[in-house]
Amino acid sequence: MKIGINLLPPNKKEDICNAERFRSVLGWEAVIFFLAILFFGFIFGVNYLLDFNLRVIADNKVSDSRGSKQYETIKNYENKFSEINSRITKISNITSGQIYWSTLFSKLGKIIPDNVEISGISTKNFSIFFAGKAKNREDLLLFKNNLIQESCFENVNLPLSNLVSKEDIVFQIDLEIKEECIKNK
């Protein structure tokens, strides 16, 4: 056990107690001040982050609105392109099935001899019937051979009754034309 003797006067004791309390209060104030600085620093940091995020979101919203306008513009163009493409496809389907009789006439123009005249042409599907007049039998046979040699014509039929006369022959020739020769590909 330790025995202590109190030799200090009471006013000094009170001054020492007050000084100790003052140091204690001062320490607590420093701790509270430090904690307040940390708290306000934390609050200002959170405020800065929230402001930064708000600016980023606002910028994204502005760019999204621009992007959505661009997206709408692109979508309008895509709709117009698909509409035009469907129209072109319809036109292409119509023209692909189109029969061009001008091809037949240009081929006939090349193979008809000078002394053969065609007075009538009739068609049914891809069968063609020619009626005409030939000056002589040789010209008519030359015309028939020219038709047979042409790759677009097949099943050329010249009745033998047309070959009875030697001159001024009225004739009829039946033949079939290949579909790919008069249709657009």
- 113 phi, psi to nearest 5 deg: -65, 165
- The predicted-structure confidence for 20-46, as pLDDT tens digits, reads as follows 999 999 999 999 999 999 999 999 999
CB of 143 within 8 A of CB of 134? yes
**Strands 167-177, 153-157: parallel, antiparallel or unpaired by DSSP?**
antiparallel
Amino acid sitting at position 94: I
Inter-axis angle of helices 137-149 and 101-111, nearest 10: 130
Most confident of the following: 24-28, 114-118, 153-157, 177-181:
24-28
Per DSSP bridges, beta strands 127-136 and 153-157 are: unpaired
Q: Which CATH superfamily is domain 101-182 in?
A: General secretion pathway protein M, EpsM (3.30.1360.100)
Going from N- to C-terminal start, the domains of the chain cover: 11-96, 101-182
User: Does the pLDDT value for residue 185 go beyond 60?
Assistant: no
* pTM for this predicted structure: 0.49
Task: Report how far residue 12's alpha carbon sits from residue 2's, in angstroms, rounded to the nearest whole number.
Answer: 22
In degrees, rounded to 5, the angle at the alpha carbon of residue 125 between the alpha carbons of residues 123 and 130 is: 25
Q: In this structure, what token pair is assigned to residue 108? A: 């006939």
